[in-house]
A and B are shown apart, each in its own frame.
Chain A
């Protein structure tokens, strides 16, 4: 009996030791790990899930060659859209899993919290979703990179479009948190600069389920257009209710982000809404057509804004790591600054001064097209990167 116990323990011990020792032998082909503390559950899950879908496609595309001949490994953690949880999960990814790159963070509030920790961790934060202007202005640091169009940039694109339109009076409705308030402020500033009027503004709390009071106010303001910076679900509910109140016919909905997710949920009540798009999947470039096809094959759906933006971020990051010849964070940062990349919707440039990717901006309209099972974004206008990107480390435009 004793002997058997002894044998058991030693076998277990030996197995344990070999497990501990294992990493030493495989280090030669160690994976490049990318950590994704994404909102995969909770109200904002759709954004985290988009990041994950993009990562799944990227994994598939890069599988054969890897980056620098090394495999790429994504590690996902669910933050449920909570900034405190995001920091905790990011810390776990950095300290326990040893990731050097963090991305896929869904909400700006989470991004501000996680990004603030990155200089201390010496980890690169790549935003592909986060819109808050502050990330590349007040809260900027050299470990932060934003591949996506920011909130102020989206507001800029749609303001440029509206400056040409006959509409004169606008109401701004922004969700009561960093991104919503930033976008509404940016819109107000630019519309005023275009000699048009903001006749009212309001900031409903995130997760508002009844917009009736706001709808009444918008109607009373006699605005011709209402600018909406509402995240995912809130935008869906607003559009549905504004349609029931008959408001969409009187006051043109103008959305900071016009997402497929909303178009699918709201359906025909959404047709006619205009807005900016970070990435409309209908962009007519050969590279994008190819991407949309691959994406549809893998996921059985058309890519939404952050499917596209996250995929671009990952592809660009891989390009930069290849250029640096290493995944050393400091070297990657140097290689990325002032580098260019051919994105899905056109040329990208990573500005050295604030790590904001300069890229084309779009004004789109939600339209019906019998070729698709849901309404789609039709591109009304495309603006070159230098017209829609703010002055360095600010949220202002020249």
Chain B
């Protein structure tokens, strides 16, 4: 029984991380109609900036608070200086631009930090493992489960229950109409892009103690995040949650019970969704 609980927690902890990344990816697509290839790099940037903050301050918690807004600001700046000008162009331009941004950011991080991975220690409170009925489980992973759930609920409440959330949803549904009704669409796009990057940055800071900050972590996570978003439905926060849980479970349980086919399972689920429900579990048919 304890082992089943351990597998469940493993899936939830991974899902928590995946959600922080895929939520932003999904949000950006829903509102900006852009598939943001640079999204994974903001996750990586979060992890590296987290490392720097921890190294400078000696504390983990400030990193969790300070880094996401910084990453968000960098994202918003990039959106307003590059992406903003090509929304009307065919999607291939946006793909190329975000891909280029990803390469530039990744190589800049390499130049600044060097090729060696940067280890970040969890805060003292979350170090070590707790005994869950016979199974030793790392405290830090429990924290990831809580963090994923909290952020998930907060984002959902924000979009559903606040006025700003209403405007964002209006822009997502029909940006021209929202514009006519007085919503500042340009500003909404920049803010949403920044917020999405901040979420990815938060994911990066949170991931650093678990995976270290390393080059290539963005590429690894963006592939999973795309699968999450395809399964859950582009533009839907609920979909990102469901998709994260499905991918987290497929990866951890697959690796445990069917190791030879672990990688296949995740893509098989995605393939099935694409065939039977191409708009995703929670997406809307267009």
Contact = CB atoms under 8 A, between A and B. Distances in A.
B262 to A, nearest CB: 7
A43 B44 CA distance: 13
Contact of A213 (B110, B217, B256, B263): B256
Given A205-B263, A246-B129, A236 B3 contact: no
A41 B252 CA distance: 29
A264 B116 contact: yes
B86 to A, nearest CB: 27
Interface of B is mostly: helix
B189 interface: no
Contacts, number: 104
Contacts of B252: 210, 212-213
27 contacts: A41-B110, A43-B214, A43-B219, A202-B259, A204-B255, A207-B216, A210-B251, A210-B252, A212-B14, A213-B7, A213-B251, A233-B214, A236-B119, A236-B212, A237-B211, A240-B119, A240-B212, A241-B211, A244-B128, A244-B140, A244-B141, A245-B136, A245-B138, A261-B116, A265-B116, A265-B117, A266-B212
B216 A42 contact: yes
Interface of B: 3, 6-7, 10, 13-14, 107, 110, 115-119, 122, 127-129, 136-138, 140-141, 207, 209-212, 214-217, 219-221, 251-253, 255-256, 259-260, 262-263
A237 B116 CA distance: 12
Contacts of B10: 210, 212-213, 216
Interface string A40-82: 0111011001000000000000000000000000000000000
A203 interface: yes
B6 A216 contact: yes
Contacts of A202: 255, 259
A214 interface: yes
What are the 10 A-B residue pairs with the smallest beta carbon separation, nearest first?
A43-B216, A213-B255, A244-B138, A265-B117, A213-B256, A212-B10, A246-B129, A46-B115, A45-B115, A246-B136
Contacts of B207: 209
Contacts of B263: 205
Interface string A159-191: 000000000000000000000000000000000
A217 B119 contact: no
B110 A236 contact: no
Contacts of A398: none
Contact of B259 (A46, A203, A264): A203
A236 B117 CA distance: 8
B137 A240 contact: no
Given A45-B115, A212-B13, A265-B117, A205 B221 contact: no
B262 A207 contact: no
Contact of A245 (B129, B251, B255): B129
B122, B251, B260 interface centre (most CB from chain A within 10 Å): B251
A103 B141 CA distance: 42
B216 A240 contact: no
A205 B118 contact: no
A346 interface: no
Given A205-B263, A233-B214, A244 B129 contact: yes
Interface in A261-278: 261, 264-267
A154 to B, nearest CB: 22
Interface in A67-102: none
